Amino acid sequence: MAHQQWRSQLDYIVTLLGFSVGSGTFIKFPFYCMRNGGGIGVGCVVCSWMFFTYYNVLFAWITYYFYNSFSSHLPWEHCDNAWNTPGCIPVNHSSTLYNITGSFPDTANLTSNSTPGMSAAEEFWRFQTLKISDGLHSLGGIRWHLAVCLIITNIILFLWIFQGIKVSGKLVYVTVGVPYILITVFLIRGSLLPGSADGMAYYIYPRFEKLRDPKVWVEACSYALYSMGVASGCIITMSGHNRINNNCFR
């Protein structure tokens, strides 16, 4: 079967934007390929498979929240659900109960099983969506609603990839465009919330003393390499669908 090609050059460029191409792809891949005798492709497939096994769970969470967003009363806004604790704080009250120092009012009257000062949104996440167990010694049961969402997610991805780049090259406009729209919406909404000015000041004003902490550098490098997709094979796969005379320099 003939190797598929991108419908247009713009499809390829937008796909690269969605993946956040980095210079590490051009620097490390030839070196690793030479040092390992060309067997790096197998490693890329293995890494991609490992990445796939856990990253799709994030989309299952999104699917579950998307399903619940159609409820007439959002379950993470109020404390009238079966999973809520006596320490639950409704969304419309959390902004007034939580002060700028990060402390909550007296919760001495709460039961020992409740988490003082936890918002309704966080309780929905912890006690309904995930139902986090006490540790590895108590794994708990399967969260069937998440399992169903994971199956739906995998089916959608399979149908998407199975159709080839002729379809994915069009859908990528949605997958790349929607996050930017959501970021804009979150920015506007977040700027209108109480305490937003303090949050912006904390984000913009640097704490240079933190640069002495090695953990900061480790996490910064880890995030940079993760964003570049070094040796994951995705950049190579996408570029392989270009025409033989593609202008790489441009």
Q: How many domains does the chain have?
A: 1
Report the predicted TM-score, pTM, of the whole model to 2 decimal places.
0.64
**96 in a structural domain:** yes
Determine the structural domain holding residue 33 and report its residue range: 9-239
The answer to the question of residue 250 being in a domain is no
Angle at 128 between CA 127 and CA 129, to 5 degrees: 110
Q: Is residue 21 part of a domain?
A: yes
Q: What is the 3-state secondary structure (H, E, C) of 107-123?
A: CCCCCCCCCCCEEHHHH
**What per-residue confidence (pLDDT) applies to 96?**
46
Domain membership of residue 52 (yes or no) is yes
124-139: pLDDT as tens digits = 999 999 988 887 888 8
- Using an 8 Å Cβ cutoff, are 235 and 41 in contact? no
Asked, for residue 3, whether it belongs to a domain, the answer is: no
Query: Once rounded to an integer, what is the mean pLDDT over residues 9-31?
Result: 62
Q: What pLDDT is recorded for position 33?
A: 54
Contact 23, 215 (CB under 8 A): no
Instruction: Answer whether residue 247 is part of any domain.
Output: no
Closest by CA to 52, choosing from 60, 64, 40, is: 60
Q: 24-62: per-residue pLDDT in tens?
A: 554 555 555 555 555 756 767 777 788 778 888 888 999
144 lies in some domain? yes
- 1 part of a folded domain: no
